[in-house]
């Protein structure tokens, strides 16, 4: 695998295919469309496939958010419904079992605040099922939520906090939400990834923390993430690629300049860009200027999708009444 910062399985698969000119063995790729929403599924079915694309065995669903979604309530509802449908297929525990929703990230840093913002919008019912069971219908699933912060704020590994809560309340399912890093600019704030393999907080920005998954918690873990940042070196690299492609299209074929451009090694070019940039800008990560609005709307999309998936016997009107 090329050393590229991305948390998205669909991008890891694309990188492997572009390098080797074929699909990775042990990886199944599928595309589909619901209305104007594109959905891709990358399923890693063997350890061989996991090694090739650098993602654990499991299923990764990518939902592409259409243009202007963050300013259109109707499209937001449509994306939430698609998210709920795919989440429902991954939730394999009975409706009377407790679900714990964990909002990962630093609420003081806007691009990393997605998880805590989603946790605030979750329909919380576990305490009501315990203290006033007669007032809550049996069809309502017990749900609780947690925003554990980050190591720099708490001094405690995130997985240690979650593990302590899991051991205490014994949920049958954990759903984690986190901000991710992407390889491609066009996917920033435009993609939702849902996976059943858990998550490694901070991996996409080189800040590896202990994994949050079935092995570490002892219960199934579903991870939901949205890429909110991209490596600055990636932006420079993509820009230079566009320039090279344009020069190739205008150069005389089989001429010396054309051959020189075609012979450029993209891996060496990427390494050169990083070595040139680092002394001047360091390990720079970039996010769009409208990130405040986007994080708020994306948090609503994801929280609505989770609420619908966890409470399949309630319609959105009932959920909204409860939240208000």
**Does the pLDDT value for residue 33 go beyond 80?**
yes
Position with higher pLDDT, 254 vs 303: 303
Give strand pairing partners of 193. 62, 225
Lowest mean pLDDT among 106-110, 141-145, 317-321: 317-321
**Does the pLDDT value for residue 18 go beyond 80?**
yes
Q: What would the mean pLDDT of 155-161 be, rounded to a whole number?
A: 93
Going by C-beta distance under 8 Å and a sequence separation of 6 or more, which residues neighbour residue 51? none
Reported confidence tier of residue 269, pLDDT bands at 50, 70, 90: confident
Q: What would the mean pLDDT of 9-31 be, rounded to a whole number?
A: 91
Lowest mean pLDDT among 44-53, 93-102, 136-145: 136-145
Q: What would the mean pLDDT of 254-263 be, rounded to a whole number?
A: 80
Residue 40 has φ and ψ, to the nearest 5°, of -120, 145
* Proportion of the chain above pLDDT 70, given as a percent: 93
* Six token digits for residue 200: 């490694």
**Structure confidence at residue 296 (pLDDT):** 93
* Nearest of 20, 123, 7, 114 to residue 54 by alpha carbon: 7
* Nearest of 277, 82, 68, 93 to residue 175 by alpha carbon: 93
**Structure confidence at residue 2 (pLDDT):** 44
DSSP for 158-169 reads: HHHHHHHHHHHH
**Structure confidence at residue 204 (pLDDT):** 46
Determine how β-strand 173-182 pairs with β-strand 221-231: parallel
Cα separations in angstroms, 149 against 9, 19, 193: 25, 38, 21
* Proportion of the chain above pLDDT 90, given as a percent: 52
Cα separations in angstroms, 300 against 47, 75, 218: 36, 12, 29
Q: What would the mean pLDDT of 199-220 be, rounded to a whole number?
A: 76
Position with higher pLDDT, 135 vs 315: 315
Reported confidence tier of residue 1, pLDDT bands at 50, 70, 90: very low
């Amino acid at each position: 695998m090329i050393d590229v910062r991305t948390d998205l399985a669909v991008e890891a698969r694309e990188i492997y295919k572009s390098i080797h000119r074929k699909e990775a063995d042990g990886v199944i790729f599928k595309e589909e469309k619901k209305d104007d929403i594109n959905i891709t599924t990358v399923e890693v079915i063997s350890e061989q496939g996991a090694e090739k694309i650098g993602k654990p065995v499991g299923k990764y669903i990518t939902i592409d958010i259409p243009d202007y979604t963050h300013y259109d309530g109707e499209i937001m509802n449509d994306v939430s419904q698609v998210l709920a449908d795919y989440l429902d297929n991954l939730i394999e525990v009975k409706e009377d079992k407790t679900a714990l929703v964990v909002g990962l990230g630093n609420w003081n840093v806007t691009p990393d605040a997605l998880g805590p913002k989603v946790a605030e919008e979750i329909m919380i019912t576990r305490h009501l099922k315990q203290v006033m069971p007669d007032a809550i219908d049996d069809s309502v699933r017990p749900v609780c939520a947690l925003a554990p912060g980050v190591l720099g704020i708490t001094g405690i590994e995130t997985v240690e906090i979650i593990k302590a809560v899991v051991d205490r309340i014994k949920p049958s399912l954990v759903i984690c939400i986190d901000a991710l890093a992407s390889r491609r600019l066009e996917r920033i704030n435009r993609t939702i990834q849902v996976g059943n393999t858990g998550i490694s907080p901070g991996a996409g920005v080189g800040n590896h923390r202990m994994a949050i998954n079935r092995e570490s918690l002892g219960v199934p873990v579903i991870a939901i993430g949205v890429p909110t940042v991209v490596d600055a070196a990636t932006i420079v690299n993509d820009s230079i690629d566009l320039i090279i492609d344009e020069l190739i299209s205008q150069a005389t074929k089989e001429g010396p300049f054309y051959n020189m451009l075609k012979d450029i090694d993209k891996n060496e070019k990427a390494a050169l860009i990083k070595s040139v940039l680092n002394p001047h800008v360091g390990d720079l990560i970039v996010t769009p200027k409208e990130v405040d609005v986007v994080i708020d709307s994306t948090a609503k999309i994801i929280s609505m999708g989770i609420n619908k998936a966890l409470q399949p016997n309630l319609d959105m009107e009932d959920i909204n009444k409860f939240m208000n």
